[in-house]
């Protein structure tokens, strides 16, 4: 399962979502800034745990974390996970 932690206003987050869609990768996008209360706190806590900082986007492929828009790295990890 691919999970993308993103912000709705982030252009790099949009690029990641578009890249995954264009490459027919099923993914779940979590728009952190659109969440409220406890849901948002949980998502931010998960991002902190995965990366140690709050920079977006964060792509989680299995147990591999890719921070930022890095299409080559995303494809490499997807190939290795298959």
Domain count of the chain? 1
At 15 the three-state DSSP class reads helix
CB-based contacts of 80: which residues, under 8 Å, 6+ apart?
A: 64
List, for residues 2-11, the tens digit of each pLDDT value: 999 999 999 9
List, for residues 48-61, the tens digit of each pLDDT value: 999 999 999 999 99
Cα(82)–Cα(44) distance, rounded to whole angstroms? Answer: 28
- Looking up residue 48, the CATH number of its domain turns out to be 3.40.30.10
What is the token pair recorded at 11? 């252009």
pLDDT at 81: 82
List, for residues 13-36, the tens digit of each pLDDT value: 999 999 999 999 999 999 999 999
**Residue 39 in this model has a pLDDT that exceeds 90:** yes
Cα(5)–Cα(33) distance, rounded to whole angstroms? Answer: 10
Q: Would you say 32 and 7 are in contact if contact means Cβ atoms under 8 Å apart?
A: yes
Question: Is this structure's pTM higher than 0.85?
Answer: yes
By residue range, what is the domain housing residue 8? 2-81
Q: pLDDT grade, residue 1 (50/70/90)? A: confident
């Amino acid at each position: 399962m691919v999970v993308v932690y993103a912000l709705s206003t982030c252009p790099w987050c949009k690029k990641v979502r578009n890249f995954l869609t264009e490459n027919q990768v099923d993914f779940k996008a979590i728009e952190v800034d659109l969440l409220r209360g406890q849901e948002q706190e949980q998502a931010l806590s998960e991002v902190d745990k995965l990366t140690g900082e709050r920079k977006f986007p964060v792509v989680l492929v299995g147990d591999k974390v890719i921070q930022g828009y890095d299409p080559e790295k995303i494809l490499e990890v997807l190939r290795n996970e298959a």
